[in-house]
């Protein structure tokens, strides 16, 4: 067992964890933040995407002990003083069907818009290439990210 | 049947792209899927067979049971002692299979031992300590293997690996073939693929010691039937099972087959005396949870020289793998689309289902209809080529005309409405077909190969359940229906409980639009419980989310229950206001007199009388404002071999794909993709657009990337998303969706189905486009997927993909 200290969505957590505990299981089971999902176990689907020290990672590919000292944002941390523009855009542009990919998808989109506030369609598609959506065929997700970027410009 | 103007009193919401009610919880990350439920559980892991076909000689679980943290273990033998075998639905031969392997394993990944431990890590550790001795048997992998009389039997008691073999002729096929100027034949192979919902199967079972019963939480798609299956298999009465379906992360048919695991978990929860949870891993999902069968289809078309298709014959062989519950159901369902969009006079279908040591199959999105439209629409292109006709012209010459609707196919399927020629005309205009042909010629001279593929498909909705029983007598389920409860609460707001569940379709949103326009209120005042609970929600054996049934029957139930509530509110209002009911109208959550607007009562005031001040109710009126209604498909035919309908409504579409093939690498680039789609009246056009595109991408994935490759030992070589490749955001075009609306005369709102469509029609659009692009090389497409190595080989050597 190892002692870890992490910050998730601005809140500090301190826990004793097994060395083999996956970060995604820590987030879901210990921190009880269940918006981060598991879809493939191999880092392909992106349902477990979180922002880790400013960059997106797939939390099923990291151990909880490796996150010691890290500052993380999960989907539950997106809304501050009302919904984040990307959350509004996903709703306004019908980017959601079953909702399972949505948290990871939105975090990848946020990460893109932070580094490239006015992406073109190809850049958007590339930014979410690591996030699988089985329902939408991606088009309304791409449109939502474009819309969020446009709204920010205005 | 109620008329539209009797149903909707306003037209403010139906047909508008309002924000989806479901989405707030999804964007906040606070949706509740099974694994998110805050229930203190032990965890289940399954030891699965490493062999495709083997006898189980010995199982030793003692070391696993001794591991600290392990709570309970169960083997297939123990399961067989405590449960009944799985009941087949479509065939009569004896084939005994339990929910776990007993004595023999039949596919790689079949559950052999289940372990309960304090957490999922310990459960996985325990699996490593179980010793199983197998005697390997020769695997039966392909359709050829299954048909070879020398092959071993998957089910010895069946005496054959062919579990279903039937032939059905409709119309005067012999005469039709005599009239034909020519007959063309082809043999197609369709591979195994699956729509793989992003959330895998998930189950929690809690044993209730106090009354010896079970509570199940699961993302099951058809709980109405699963309750029956689980209780029958466990040998318990249905009052001993409470079934709860929370949020579900996609279904696509794949979650129709998870119920056998509920049986195992129920036994384990009793043994462990604690709630237990199983969350399927992706590898478990790909190994056995589950596939569309691979198929060999021989088809021939009887043609006139002018291009008219007179009749068709198919011989359809499905490799149904190793799950008797679904074996055989992919054959007959092809009749829902057998003659496609065309005026075909006679059909003959020889339907064969074989079992092998491949994994189980289930009703994957479209269920057999993608294969049917694939072979038919490929044949239309091959016939056009043979007759020197343009593929578009070939279709125009055969389409059922709008004036011929409703159209009954030779087997009895009724297409209720649609303008098939106009869909194709719109699609061709949208593409700029003639310019495309010119550009194709120019580019070819420069060594670039672009092609266009047309596919026209019928996209049926709402299964007339029981159709697969033609060889088994009166079916246990028939027709289709759903139940709904609509209540007005103390505050005059509306709550709806539906017997179906949502796995991405936006049921709460579309329901609120319809109820809002029925009661003249804002949809914000209509809520729908997102969780189905079998002791609270209305349900039938048909209940669930499958075969695009929502518009046809689920909304029917909502409409009928809302109407009952509306009628009751009108009766109470008439009494309260002293105004004749015929003079009352609804507006903004009030009921008022059309002759004197000052005479009005709000829903809240009516509710107050219905719930509290009940002595003010009219004479003989029951208190309360909550009504239940069930709605069944009014046009479902009884099962019969001569005249039957597989499905109840029939949307249609034309897909046009424009591709470029790199003849050196074999890679296929999708340049444009046009979907002309007609699902009758639309309640929410943006939800429909999402369904049309999403389902199309399932077909594109199947056509280009996804393939459950098995080696000769029956090992699945694509068991993670690293080797089972799904479509990504990159590589897909911007889909151009063109809507047409031909109202359905047989559904309450003139709607048809919107969920499966693209998965049916898209396979051929790509295949036809690739063949068109490669026509200078004389390449013919007779199989899927269109993998780059197959494309290159066809160009250089085989001339056939």
**How distant is the Cα of B697 from the closest Cα of chain A, in angstroms?**
5
Mutate to test the interface with B, among A94, A106, A110 (most CBs of B within 10 A): A94
Asked which of B89-93, B259-263, B675-679, B714-718 is least confident by mean pLDDT, the reply is B89-93
Distance CA A87, CA A75 (A): 10
Residue B728 lies in a domain: yes
Same-domain check for residues B129 and B218: yes
Is A41 close to B506, i.e. CB distance below 8 A? no
Which residues in chain B have their CB less than 8 angstroms from residue A20's CB?
121
Percent of all residues in chain B with a pLDDT value above 70, rounded to a whole number: 99
DSSP state of A81: S
Closest CA to B651 of B738, B743, B513: B743
Mutate to test the interface with B, among A28, A38, A95, A135 (most CBs of B within 10 A): A135
Q: Where are the alpha helices (DSSP H) in B306-362?
A: 329-332
Residue B168 backbone dihedrals phi, psi, to 5 degrees: -135, 125
Is A42 close to B721, i.e. CB distance below 8 A? yes
> Residue B101: which CATH number?
3.90.1170.50
Nearest to A91 among B20, B197, B722 (CB): B20
pLDDT at B466: 77
Q: Is B126 helix (H, G, I), strand (E, B) or coil?
A: helix
Distance CA B136, CA B553 (A): 49
> Residue B512: which CATH number?
3.30.365.10
Side-chain-side CA neighbours of A73 within 13 Å: the count stands at 19
Is B199 close to A142, i.e. CB distance below 8 A? no
Is A76 close to B30, i.e. CB distance below 8 A? yes
pLDDT at B470: 63
Query: Does ipTM surpass 0.85 in this model?
Result: yes
Is B27 close to A125, i.e. CB distance below 8 A? no
Residue B151 lies in a domain: no
Nearest to B20 among A45, A94, A125 (CB): A94
Is B730 close to A129, i.e. CB distance below 8 A? yes
Residue B643 lies in a domain: yes
Is B734 close to A38, i.e. CB distance below 8 A? no
DSSP state of B339: T
Q: Would you tell me how many other CB atoms lie within 10 Å of the CB of residue B58?
A: 8
DSSP state of B298: E
Q: Residues B275, B42: contact at Cβ < 8 Å?
A: yes
Distance CA B113, CA B79 (A): 10
Same-domain check for residues B22 and B38: no
- In order of start, what are the domains of chain A with their CATH numbers? 2-75 (3.10.20.30), 85-153 (1.10.150.120)
Q: Is B546 helix (H, G, I), strand (E, B) or coil?
A: coil
Is A91 close to B36, i.e. CB distance below 8 A? no
Question: pLDDT, tens digit, for every residue of B363-392?
Answer: 999 999 999 999 999 999 999 999 999 999
> What band does B473 get if pLDDT is binned at 50, 70 and 90?
confident
User: Edge to edge, what strands does the sheet with B481-488 contain?
Assistant: B526-528, B494-498, B481-488, B626-632
Closest CA to B385 of B787, B777, B772, B78: B772
Question: pLDDT, tens digit, for every residue of B8-23?
Answer: 999 999 999 999 999 9
Q: What is the DSSP string of B457-500?
A: EEEEEEE-BTGGGTTTSS-SS-B-EEEEEEEE-TTS-EEEEESS
pLDDT at B289: 85
User: B264, B288, B312 — which closes off a domain?
Assistant: B288
Same-domain check for residues B259 and B354: no
Same-domain check for residues B726 and B765: yes
Strands (E), B223-345: 241-245, 276-279, 294-303, 309-319
Is A34 close to B35, i.e. CB distance below 8 A? yes
Percent of all residues in chain B with a pLDDT value above 90, rounded to a whole number: 96
pLDDT at B475: 83
User: B234, B267, B288 — which closes off a domain?
Assistant: B288
Residue in chain B nearest A92 by alpha carbon: B19
Mean pLDDT of B571-583: 97
Residue B409 lies in a domain: yes
Which residues in chain B have their CB less than 8 angstroms from residue A19's CB?
none
**How distant is the Cα of B125 from the closest Cα of chain A, in angstroms?**
12
pLDDT at B530: 83
CB contacts < 8 A (A, B): 174
Is A99 close to B25, i.e. CB distance below 8 A? yes
**How distant is the Cα of B701 from the closest Cα of chain A, in angstroms?**
10
Distance CA B89, CA A67 (A): 51
Distance CA B389, CA B652 (A): 23
**How distant is the Cα of A128 from the closest Cα of chain B, in angstroms?**
7
Give residue B328's domain range: 294-467+637-798
Which residues in chain B have their CB less than 8 angstroms from residue A21's CB?
121
Same-domain check for residues B278 and B327: no
Side-chain-side CA neighbours of A3 within 13 Å: the count stands at 1
**How distant is the Cα of A72 from the closest Cα of chain B, in angstroms?**
15
- pLDDT at A118 > cutoff 80: yes
Q: Is B515 helix (H, G, I), strand (E, B) or coil?
A: helix
Same-domain check for residues B88 and B225: yes
DSSP state of B22: T
Is B732 close to A41, i.e. CB distance below 8 A? no
pLDDT at B474: 78
C-alpha triplet B459, B461, B465: angle, nearest 5°: 130
Is B19 close to A142, i.e. CB distance below 8 A? no
**How distant is the Cα of B686 from the closest Cα of chain A, in angstroms?**
7
Q: Which residues of A77-115 are buried (b: 16+ CB within 10 A; e: fewer)?
A: bbeeeebbbbbbbbbbbbbbbbbbbbbbbbbbbbbbbee
The residues, any chain, with a CB within 8 Å of residue B757's CB and separated by 6 or more, are B457, B459, B651, B653, B677, B679, B691, B692, B695, B696
> Please, what is the average pLDDT of chain A?
97
Which residues in chain B have their CB less than 8 angstroms from residue A97's CB?
250, 504-506, 690-691, 694
Is A134 close to B20, i.e. CB distance below 8 A? no
Nearest to A40 among B33, B247, B720 (CB): B720
Residue B157 lies in a domain: no
| Neighbour-count burial of A3, counting CB atoms closer than 10 A to its CB (0-12 exposed, 13-18 middle, 19+ buried) | exposed
Is A98 close to B250, i.e. CB distance below 8 A? yes
- pLDDT at B472 > cutoff 80: no
Same-domain check for residues B133 and B260: yes
Residue B236 lies in a domain: yes
- pLDDT at A152 > cutoff 90: no
Which residues in chain A have their CB less than 8 angstroms from residue B33's CB?
34, 37, 100
Angle between helices A102-115 and A139-153 (to 10 degrees): 40
Question: pLDDT, tens digit, for every residue of A44-55?
Answer: 999 999 999 999
Same-domain check for residues B273 and B410: no
| Neighbour-count burial of B66, counting CB atoms closer than 10 A to its CB (0-12 exposed, 13-18 middle, 19+ buried) | exposed
> Please, what is the average pLDDT of chain B?
96
Is A139 close to B35, i.e. CB distance below 8 A? no
Question: pLDDT, tens digit, for every residue of B193-237?
Answer: 999 999 999 999 999 999 999 999 999 999 999 999 999 999 999
Tokens of B205: 């079972």
Which residues in chain A have their CB less than 8 angstroms from residue B36's CB?
28, 34
Same-domain check for residues B619 and B643: no
Is B720 close to A39, i.e. CB distance below 8 A? no
Which residues in chain B have their CB less than 8 angstroms from residue A32's CB?
38
Tokens of B792: 């290159």
Q: Residues B710, B767: contact at Cβ < 8 Å?
A: no
Distance CA B32, CA B29 (A): 9
Question: pLDDT, tens digit, for every residue of B133-163?
Answer: 999 999 999 999 999 999 999 999 999 999 9
The residues, any chain, with a CB within 8 Å of residue B445's CB and separated by 6 or more, are none
Residue B175 lies in a domain: no
Is A76 close to B28, i.e. CB distance below 8 A? yes
Is B693 close to A18, i.e. CB distance below 8 A? no
Which residues in chain B have their CB less than 8 angstroms from residue A76's CB?
28-30
Distance CA B355, CA B106 (A): 10
Same-domain check for residues B382 and B504: no
Q: Residues B294, B239: contact at Cβ < 8 Å?
A: no
State the total domains in chain B: 3
**How distant is the Cα of A74 from the closest Cα of chain B, in angstroms?**
9
**How distant is the Cα of A12 from the closest Cα of chain B, in angstroms?**
19
Distance CA B791, CA B801 (A): 6
Q: What is the DSSP string of B609-673?
A: HHHT-GGGSPTTPPS--EEEEEEE-TTPPPP-SSS--SEEEEEEEEEEEEEEE-TTT--EEEEEE
Same-domain check for residues B200 and B272: yes
Distance CA B583, CA B574 (A): 9
Same-domain check for residues B211 and B298: no
Residue B153 lies in a domain: no
**How distant is the Cα of B505 from the closest Cα of chain A, in angstroms?**
6
| Neighbour-count burial of B306, counting CB atoms closer than 10 A to its CB (0-12 exposed, 13-18 middle, 19+ buried) | exposed
pLDDT at B272: 95
pLDDT at B471: 65
Which residues in chain B have their CB less than 8 angstroms from residue A135's CB?
198, 250, 504, 690, 694
pLDDT at B639: 81
Mean pLDDT of B782-791: 97
pLDDT at B511: 98
Tokens of B626: 């909550």
Residue in chain B nearest A90 by alpha carbon: B27
Is A97 close to B734, i.e. CB distance below 8 A? no
User: B613, B632, B651 — which closes off a domain?
Assistant: B632
Closest CA to B460 of B334, B295, B290, B312: B334
Is B732 close to A100, i.e. CB distance below 8 A? no
Q: Residues B170, B411: contact at Cβ < 8 Å?
A: yes
Is A139 close to B732, i.e. CB distance below 8 A? yes
pLDDT at B492: 97
Is B693 close to A137, i.e. CB distance below 8 A? yes
Closest CA to B753 of B697, B685, B688: B688
Percent of all residues in chain A with a pLDDT value above 90, rounded to a whole number: 97
The region, left, alpha or beta by phi > 0 then psi within -120 to 50, assigned to residue B748 is alpha
- pLDDT at B747 > cutoff 70: yes
Mean pLDDT of A138-152: 96
Return the H-helix or E-strand segment holding B203.
strand B202-208
Nearest to B27 among A106, A126, A134 (CB): A106
**How distant is the Cα of A150 from the closest Cα of chain B, in angstroms?**
19
- pLDDT at A129 > cutoff 80: yes
Percent of all residues in chain A with a pLDDT value above 70, rounded to a whole number: 99
**How distant is the Cα of B297 from the closest Cα of chain A, in angstroms?**
28
Nearest to B729 among A99, A102, A129 (CB): A129
Pairing of strands B736-740, A71-73: unpaired
């Amino acid at each position: 067992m190892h002692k870890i200290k992490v910050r998730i969505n601005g809140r500090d957590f301190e826990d004793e964890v097994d060395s083999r505990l996956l970060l995604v299981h820590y987030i879901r089971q210990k921190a009880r933040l269940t918006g981060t999902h598991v879809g493939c176990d191999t880092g392909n689907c992106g349902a477990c995407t979180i922002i880790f020290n400013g960059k997106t990672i797939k939390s099923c590919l990291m151990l909880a002990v490796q996150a010691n000292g890290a500052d993380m944002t999960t989907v539950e941390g997106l809304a501050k003083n009302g919904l984040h523009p990307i959350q509004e855009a996903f709703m306004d542009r019908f980017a959601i069907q079953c909702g399972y990919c949505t948290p990871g998808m939105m975090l990848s989109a946020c990460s893109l818009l932070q580094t490239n506030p006015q992406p073109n369609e190809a850049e958007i598609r590339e930014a979410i290439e690591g996030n699988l959506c089985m329902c939408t065929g991606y088009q309304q997700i791409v449109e939502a990210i474009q819309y969020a970027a446009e709204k920010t410009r205005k | 049947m109620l008329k539209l103007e009797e149903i909707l009193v306003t037209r403010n919401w139906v047909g508008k792209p309002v924000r989806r009610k479901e989405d707030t919880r999804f964007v906040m990350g606070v949706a509740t899927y099974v694994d998110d439920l805050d229930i203190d559980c032990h965890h289940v892991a399954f030891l699965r067979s490493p062999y495709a076909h083997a006898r189980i000689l010995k199982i030793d679980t003692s070391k696993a049971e001794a591991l600290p943290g392990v709570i309970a273990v169960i083997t297939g033998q123990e399961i067989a002692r405590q449960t009944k075998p799985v009941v087949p639905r479509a065939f009569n031969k004896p084939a005994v299979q339990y929910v776990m392997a007993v004595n023999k394993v039949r596919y790689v990944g079949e559950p052999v031992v289940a372990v309960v431990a304090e957490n999922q890590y310990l459960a996985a550790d325990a699996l490593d300590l179980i010793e199983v001795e197998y005697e390997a048997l020769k695997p039966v992998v392909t359709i050829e293997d299954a048909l070879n009389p020398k092959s071993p039997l998957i089910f010895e008691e069946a005496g054959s690996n062919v579990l279903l073999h039937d032939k059905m002729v409709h119309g005067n096929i012999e005469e039709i073939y005599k009239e034909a100027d020519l007959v063309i034949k082809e043999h197609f192979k369709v591979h195994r693929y699956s729509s793989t919902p992003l959330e895998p199967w998930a189950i929690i079972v809690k044993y209730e010691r106090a009354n010896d019963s079970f509570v199940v939480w699961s993302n099951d798609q058809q709980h109405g039937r699963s309750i029956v299956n689980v209780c029958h298999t466990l040998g318990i009465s249905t009052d001993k099972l409470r079934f709860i379906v929370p949020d579900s992360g996609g279904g696509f048919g794949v979650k129709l087959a998870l119920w056998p695991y509920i049986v195992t978990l129920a036994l384990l929860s009793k043994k462990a005396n604690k709630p237990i949870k199983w969350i399927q891993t992706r590898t478990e999902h790909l190994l056995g949870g589950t596939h569309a069968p691979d198929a060999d289809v021989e088809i021939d078309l009887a043609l006139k020289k002018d291009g008219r298709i007179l009749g068709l014959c198919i011989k359809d062989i499905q490799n149904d793998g190793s799950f008797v519950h679904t074996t055989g159901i992919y054959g007959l369902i092809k009749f829902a689309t057998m003659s496609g969009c065309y005026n075909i006079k006679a059909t003959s279908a020889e339907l064969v289902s074989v079992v092998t040591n491949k994994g189980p199959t289930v009703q994957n999105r479209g269920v057999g209809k993608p294969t049917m439209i694939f072979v038919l629409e490929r044949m239309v292109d091959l016939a056009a080529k043979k007759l020197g006709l343009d593929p578009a012209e070939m279709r125009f010459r055969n389409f059922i005309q709008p004036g011929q609707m409703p159209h009954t196919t030779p087997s009895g399927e009724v297409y209720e409405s649609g303008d098939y020629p106009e869909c194709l005309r719109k699609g061709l205009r949208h593409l700029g077909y003639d310019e495309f042909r010119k550009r194709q010629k120019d580019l070819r001279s420069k060594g670039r190969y672009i092609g266009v593929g047309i596919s026209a498909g019928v996209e049926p909705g709402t299964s007339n359940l029981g159709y697969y029983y033609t060889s088994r007598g009166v079916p246990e389920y028939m027709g289709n229906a759903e139940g709904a409860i609509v209540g007005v609460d103390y505050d005059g707001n509306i709550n709806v409980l539906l017997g179906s569940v949502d796995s991405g379709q936006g049921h709460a949103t579309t329901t609120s639009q319809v109820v809002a326009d029925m009661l003249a209120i804002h949809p914000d005042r209509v809520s729908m419980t997102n969780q189905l609970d079998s002791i609270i929600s209305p349900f039938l054996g048909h209940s669930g989310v499958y075969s695009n049934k929502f518009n046809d029957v689920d909304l029917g139930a909502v409409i009928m229950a809302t109407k009952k509530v509306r009628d009751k509110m009108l009766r109470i209002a008439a009494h309260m206001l002293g105004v004749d009911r015929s003079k009352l109208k609804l507006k903004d959550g009030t009921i008022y007199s059309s002759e004197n607007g000052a005479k009005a009562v709000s829903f809240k005031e009516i509710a107050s009388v219905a719930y509290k001040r009940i002595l003010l109710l009219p004479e003989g009126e029951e208190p309360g404002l909550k009504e239940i209604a069930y709605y069944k498909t009014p046009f479902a035919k009884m099962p019969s071999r001569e005249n039957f309908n597989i499905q109840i409504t029939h949307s249609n579409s034309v897909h046009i794909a424009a591709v470029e093939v790199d003849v050196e690498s074999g890679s296929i680039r999708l340049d444009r993709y046009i979907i002309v789609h007609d699902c009758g009246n639309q309640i929410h056009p943006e939800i429909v657009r999402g369904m049309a595109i999403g389902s199309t991408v399932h077909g594109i994935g199947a056509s280009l990337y996804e393939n459950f490759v098995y080696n000769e030992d029956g090992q699945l070589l694509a068991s993670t998303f690293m080797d089972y490749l799904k479509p990504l955001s990159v590589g897909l075009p911007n889909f151009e969706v063109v809507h047409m609306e031909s109202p359905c005369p047989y559904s309450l709102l003139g709607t048809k189905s919107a969920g499966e469509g693209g998965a049916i029609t898209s396979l051929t659009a790509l295949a036809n486009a690739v063949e068109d692009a490669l026509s200078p090389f004389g390449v013919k497409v007779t199989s899927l997927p269109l993998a780059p190595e197959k494309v290159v080989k066809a160009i250089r050597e085989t001339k056939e993909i």
